[in-house]
Structure 1
Amino acid sequence: MSKRPYKAVAFDVFGTLIEIKNSQSPYKKMMKWLKQQGRKPQPNDAAMIMSLDGNFETIASYFGYQLPAPLLAEMNNDLQNDLKHMHAFEDSIPTLIELKNLGYKLAICSNAATPYGERAQSILPPLDTYAWSFQVGANKPDPLIYQHFLTQMNCQPNEVFFIGDTQIADVDEPQKLGMSAKIIDRKNGESLLDVLQPLLKK
């Protein structure tokens, strides 16, 4: 049997392994309210939210505001709705199990607000390491978040195959760091098997 070119596979989560149907986007609601209060939106607002490990109140206070109780209740309701409608794509769990059985190390590398990441982690089978933006304190495509899982898995970039649904964060930056990377187009019916075929050959 020829030596495998990769030791590990790293995955983006949302749009790659998991989907949220009809997302209510509670964080967008909060940012809209902050704008109404006179706060000027900043280009890195979304990145900031996903790199802070905390609830709505914590994040609002970071921006210097206190959320009114009705808005907070509405956002928590939206959040519960999103978490309830979060599902793994049909092929995600079987493929992760198969890769694990074939001896690959598996990593998650994903931008997510805390509750979304925690819920996603509970849906998926246990993997070797996790580089969540809210835990690492950095978002893709910041090299820090990729370095986190490389260090945790004790892998060189050229030993890792990265898969995700966003060109810059999941293909361009991993390739720049020396990984192999491929986009998955779930909207057009592409499956993990389509993308990972070379790795799944026994």
Structure 2
Amino acid sequence: MNSPKVIVFDAFGTLVQIGQSKSPYRKLMKWLKEDGRKPSLKDANIIMSNDVDIEELAKVFGKEIPIQLLQEIEEDIDFELNTIELYKDTIPTLRKLKSLGFQLALCSNLAKPYGDKLKAILPNSFDAVFLSYEVGAIKPERHIYEVILKQFSCQMCDVLFVGDHPILDVEVPISLGMSARLIERNKKQNLSNMLNDLISD
């Protein structure tokens, strides 16, 4: 394939992993349903495209969350955040790609607390970071991909998308004219092998 100018990485399942999940947002949505709010297909979009904490998010959904439940969910989030860690090949691969002159970006669908954690643990290798709650849009919405192009003043064909989601990180980027690579961590795949044609000397 033609060498890309910009390589865009997904975060969770690609560069970082959660050691143990507590599903805090599922707990919030369960309470909202029990409190009379009807679930919507747009709920995940709302969670990941609003720059708010749990208490404010409940208000976005039209509810005032009880203090005890708020504390439980916040504790679950803190627990998850403390289990987040980089894959061993993340930093070496990013450094190598940077040394070869590629522009690097991070693009992830996630709620605000997880974005703050990502910024704290990832190296300063990225030329730009696109987090759904900051952009106000999630993958696979076209807007979040177009924001990347605008930031780098490039065309779709200049971008390589790398991620673990077959649709959001591969199928949709390819349909828009980008290149894409799927990484399957559950099959012991690593970044250096997958991007070998880009990072080989």
Q: Given the two structures, how large is their TM-score scaled by the length of structure 1?
A: 0.96
Question: Does the 8 Å contact 1:50/1:139 carry over to 2?
Answer: yes
How big is each residue's C-alpha offset from its partner over 1:22-41, in whole Å with a ceiling of 9 and x where there is no partner?
11121111000001101111
- Can you give the 5+ residue segments of structure 1 that lack an aligned partner in the other structure? none
The structural deviation recorded for 1:78 is 0.5
Partner of 2:43: 45
Question: Does the 8 Å contact 1:131/1:146 carry over to 2?
Answer: no
Counterparts of 1:131-170 in structure 2, within 5 Å, are 131-170=130-169
Does residue 192 of structure 2 align to residue 189 of structure 1? no
The structural deviation recorded for 1:194 is 2.0
Does residue 175 of structure 2 align to residue 176 of structure 1? yes
Partner of 1:6: 4
Counterparts of 1:33-112 in structure 2, within 5 Å, are 33-112=31-110
For 2:178, give the aligned amino acid. Answer: M
How big is each residue's C-alpha offset from its partner over 1:47-103, in whole Å with a ceiling of 9 and x where there is no partner?
110000010111100111011011001011001101100001110111111111111
Partner of 2:29: 31
Deviation beyond 3 Å, 4+ runs, structure 1:
none
Distance 1:149 1:117 in 2: 17
Aligned-partner SS, 1:27: helix
Aligned-partner SS, 1:13: coil
For 1:119, give the aligned amino acid. Answer: K
Count residues with an aligned counterpart.
199
Q: Given the two structures, how large is their TM-score scaled by the length of structure 2?
A: 0.96
Aligned-partner SS, 2:104: strand
The structural deviation recorded for 1:195 is 1.4
Which of 13, 16, 20 aligns to 2:14? It is 16
Distance 1:86 1:148 in 2: 27
Q: Give the share of equivalent positions with the same residue, in percent.
A: 45
